[in-house]
């Protein structure tokens, strides 16, 4: 793999990663959000695989395949099962910030990410650090999704986006995490999603909905 | 010569593009359709009709169709559709083209206000709302496209894309393409922003503005909107896939090749657009800003992506 194709593929993967995050902000259908999250997982997995092919090392490729299985297949399936079957549960209820404003805020966050990562890029001008702003923007967008959504499931999606983007940042800055660390982190996320899925279904059984805004007061 | 041919081709081809799109839609919806030549017959019918001017309208109403058609023809003359290097090359700036497009929109809006009817006012208020949201997106997308070429001149952008075909698939240019497609749909009043084939009061935007026109003036308005769609589709095709565009001072063969290439590109784009329209419904008017904010964001991402790709190559 030549230097040019490596840079191109890396940019494309980082761009797709950011694009899926933007689309998650845009869409309201919970099942569509979960599908987009799967695509984001795939884009994330491409990062270490490209790195491995370029450096001719097997370890990053193994990490990439593990990430692909977990984040593009297993987690979305678990989340999709937690999406309710009732009509009012399929869509995000009116978000705290309307979609137009969220998209503009997302634009602002992206610019902010470009601004704050400049010093990090200045440290080492390699193709991987140049893709960093795109990934860093996803961290900010994920935090925004977590605070602006009302359904338990979309907040879980925000959490997973945050985790995806932190992992991606690790891949880009440190050129790969040791396999054992990545496995540990992945296992953690897997259990978190299990617990979130269980919690969502319990909430639905107990309260008939997962709109977290209605769960602020204690009642007898 | 190529510029004159471009104007003639856009004039003659616009009804064909409209007819073709309607025919593709009709066939996909299981109707027979009026045939590809139907817009020509409509225009002939309208042009033969008596000229009627509503009471109380002023010169604004009378001039608007001519301004709309004239600005579109001027765009057709300056953009590189068939060959690079038009006589107006120094003015062939993407920002200038955007301004000319907006001139046509404003002319029709003022004419609709001039009639003083309820529908005219409603249509023009909607049209201006959408136009105001579309403008920043177009400017940003243009900015993204002009970063790799280091110029906002259309001929420079097209020739830079010809010399460097791989750049079309860079993230910045893909995002700019999607953003430009969305704003083209909004600017020409196609689905999902406006439904060109409806006359339902609550939903229409462009038809509400031209409701008071009849006869030859209506023909010019319809023709102008067809030309606008044709020019924008052709420009979109050439900005991203500039194959077959003849060089400066082209030979007769080069001009013919360019004409054939642009015809094929517009035909393919228009058919894809028409086929896509079958599967989508019109957005509620209050959801349109959402779509346009999305395209604005895509354009912004395109700018950031291409600016940081530009630093990579240095």
3-state secondary structure chain B: CHHHHHHHHHHHHHHHHHHHHHHHHHHHCCCCCCCCCHHHHHHHHHHHCCCCCCCCCCHHHHHHHHHHHHHHHHHHHHCCCCECCCCCHHHCEHHHHHHHHHHHHHHHHHHHHHHCCHHHHHHHHHHHHHHHHHHHHHHHHHHHHHHHHCCCEHHHHHHHHHHCHHHHHCHHHHHHHHHHHHHHHHHCCCCCCCCCCCCCCCCCCHHHHCCCCCHHHHHHHHHHHHHHHHHHHHHHHHHHCCCCCECCCCCHHHHHHHHHHHHHHHHHHHHHHHHHHHHCCCCCHHHHHHHHHHHHHHHHHHHHHHHHHHHHHC
How far is A77 from chain B, CA to nearest CA, in Å?
A: 28
What does the pLDDT average to over A53-74? 85
Distance of CA B54 to the CA centre of its chain: 29
**Residue of A99, A107, A133 with shortest CB distance to B300:** A107
| ipTM score of complex | 0.73
Contact B258, B270 (CB under 8 A): no
Structure tokens at A51: 């790195």
Residue B305: closest CA among chain A residues belongs to which residue? Answer: A15
pLDDT at B314 > cutoff 60: no
Under an 8 A CB cutoff, do A11 and B175 touch?
A: no
Calpha distance B47→B53 (Å, rounded): 15
Share the mean pLDDT of chain A.
81
Per-residue confidence (pLDDT) for residue A40, from 0 to 100: 92
Residue A90 pLDDT: 64
Residue B100 CA to its chain's centroid (Å): 11
CA angle A54, A57, A63 (to 5 degrees): 100
Residue A93 sits at the chain B interface (C-beta within 8 Å): no
Specify the pLDDT at position A140: 93
Mean per-residue pLDDT, B208-236: 88
**Which pLDDT does position A1 carry in this prediction?**
67
Phi and psi torsions of B302, nearest 5°: -60, -40
User: What is the sign, positive or negative, of the torsion defined by CA atoms of A186, A190, A195, A199?
Assistant: positive
> Is omega for the bond preceding B258 within 30 degrees of 0, making it cis?
no
CB pair distance less than 8 Å for A15 and B300 = no
pLDDT at B136 over 70: yes
Does residue A33 form part of some domain? yes
Indicate whether A212 pLDDT > 70: no
- Element counts in chain A: helices (H) and strands (E): 11, 0
Across the range B32-41, mean pLDDT stands at: 87
Q: Between chains, do B311 and A130 touch, taking CB under 8 Å as contact?
A: yes
Q: What is the pLDDT of residues B92-104, one digit of tens each?
A: 777 788 888 889 9
Q: Does residue A189 fall inside a structural domain?
A: yes
Highest mean pLDDT among B161-165, B181-185, B195-199: B181-185
Query: Could you tell me the residue range of the domain that residue A9 belongs to?
Result: 3-215
Secondary structure of chain A: what % helix, strand, coil (to 5)?
80, 0, 15
In this prediction, residue A27 carries a pLDDT of 83
pLDDT exceeds cutoff 60 at B51:
yes
Of A22, A100, A134, the CB nearest to B290: A100
**Is residue B115 pLDDT above 70, yes or no?**
yes
Q: Which residues of B touch A100 (CB under 8 A)?
A: 289-290, 293
Residue A220 lies in a domain: no
Tell me, what's the pLDDT at A9?
82
Q: Within an 8 Å CB–CB cutoff, is residue A147 touching chain B? A: no
A111 part of contact set with chain B, CB < 8 Å: yes
Q: Which of B294, B313, B311, B272 is nearest to B140 (CA)?
A: B294
Question: When comparing pLDDT for A156 and B307, which is higher?
Answer: A156
Residue A175 tokens read as 């050129």
* Cross-chain residue pair B301–A110, CB shorter than 8 Å: yes
CA distances from B129 to B109, B288, B295 (A): 11, 10, 15
pLDDT bin (cut points 50, 70, 90) of residue A94 is: low
Per-domain boundaries in chain B: 2-313
Band (B312; pLDDT cuts 50, 70, 90): very low
Q: Is the dihedral of CA B115, B121, B126, B131 positive or negative?
A: positive
Note whether residue A152 is domain-resident: yes
Residue percentage of chain B with pLDDT more than 70: 92
Q: Nearest residue on chain B to A25, judged by CA atoms?
A: B294
Give B-chain residues touching A130 at CB under 8 angstroms: 308, 311-312
Whole-structure pTM value: 0.81
Nearest residue to B205 (alpha-carbon basis) of B197, B215, B213, B217:
B197
What pLDDT shows up at residue B313?
43
Q: How many domains does chain A have?
A: 1
- Chain A residues closer than 8 Å to B311 by CB: 130
Better-scored residue on pLDDT, B272 or B151: B272
What integer pLDDT is reported at residue A71 of this predicted model?
Answer: 85
């Amino acid at each position: 793999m030549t230097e040019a194709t490596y840079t191109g593929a890396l940019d494309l993967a980082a761009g797709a990663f950011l694009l899926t995050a933007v689309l998650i902000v845009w869409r309201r259908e919970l099942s569509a959000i979960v599908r987009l999250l799967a695509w984001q997982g795939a884009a994330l997995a491409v990062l270490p695989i490209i790195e491995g092919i370029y450096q001719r090392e097997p370890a990053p490729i193994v990490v990439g395949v593990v990430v692909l299985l977990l984040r593009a297949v297993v987690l979305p399936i678990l989340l999709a099962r937690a999406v309710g079957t009732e009509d009012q549960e399929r869509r995000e209820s009116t978000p705290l910030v309307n979609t137009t404003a969220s998209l503009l805020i997302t634009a602002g966050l992206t610019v902010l990410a470009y601004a704050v990562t400049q010093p990090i890029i200045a440290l080492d001008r390699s193709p991987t650090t140049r893709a960093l702003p795109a990934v860093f923007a996803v961290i900010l967008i994920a935090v925004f999704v977590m605070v602006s959504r009302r359904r338990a499931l979309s907040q879980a999606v925000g959490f997973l986006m945050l985790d995806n983007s932190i992992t991606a940042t690790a891949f880009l800055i440190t050129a790969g995490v040791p396999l054992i660390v990545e496995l540990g982190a992945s296992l953690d996320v897997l259990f978190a999603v299990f617990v979130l899925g269980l919690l969502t279904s319990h909430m639905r059984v107990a309260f008939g909905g997962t709109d977290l805004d209605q769960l602020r007061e204690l009642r007898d | 010569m190529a510029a004159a041919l471009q104007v003639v081709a856009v004039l003659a081809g616009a009804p064909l593009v409209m007819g073709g799109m309607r025919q593709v839609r009709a066939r996909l919806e299981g109707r027979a359709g009026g045939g590809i030549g139907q817009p020509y017959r409509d225009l002939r019918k309208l042009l033969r009709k008596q000229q009627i001017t509503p009471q109380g309208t002023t010169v604004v109403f009378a001039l608007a169709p001519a301004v709309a058609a004239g600005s579109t023809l001027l765009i057709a003359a300056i953009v590189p559709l068939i060959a690079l290097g038009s006589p107006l090359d120094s003015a062939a700036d993407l920002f200038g083209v955007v301004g000319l497009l907006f001139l046509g929109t404003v002319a029709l809006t003022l004419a609709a206000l001039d009639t003083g009817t309820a529908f005219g006012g409603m249509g023009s208020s909607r049209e201006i709302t959408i136009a105001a949201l579309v403008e920043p997106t177009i400017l940003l997308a243009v900015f993204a496209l002009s970063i790799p070429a280091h110029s906002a001149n259309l001929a420079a952008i097209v020739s830079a894309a010809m010399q460097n075909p791989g750049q079309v698939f860079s993230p910045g240019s893909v995002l700019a393409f999607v953003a430009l497609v969305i704003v083209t749909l909004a600017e020409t009043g196609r689905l999902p922003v406006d439904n060109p084939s409806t006359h339902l009061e609550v939903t229409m935007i462009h038809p509400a503005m031209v409701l008071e026109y009849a006869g030859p003036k209506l023909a010019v308005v319809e023709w102008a909107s067809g030309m606008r769609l044709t020019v924008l589709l052709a420009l979109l095709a050439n900005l991203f896939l500039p194959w077959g565009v003849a060089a400066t001072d082209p030979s007769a063969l080069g001009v013919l090749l360019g004409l054939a290439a642009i015809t094929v590109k517009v035909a393919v784009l228009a058919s894809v657009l028409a086929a896509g329209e079958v599967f989508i419904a019109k957005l509620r008017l209050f959801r349109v800003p959402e779509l346009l904010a999305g395209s604005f964001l895509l354009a912004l991402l395109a700018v950031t992506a291409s600016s940081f790709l530009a630093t990579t190559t240095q």
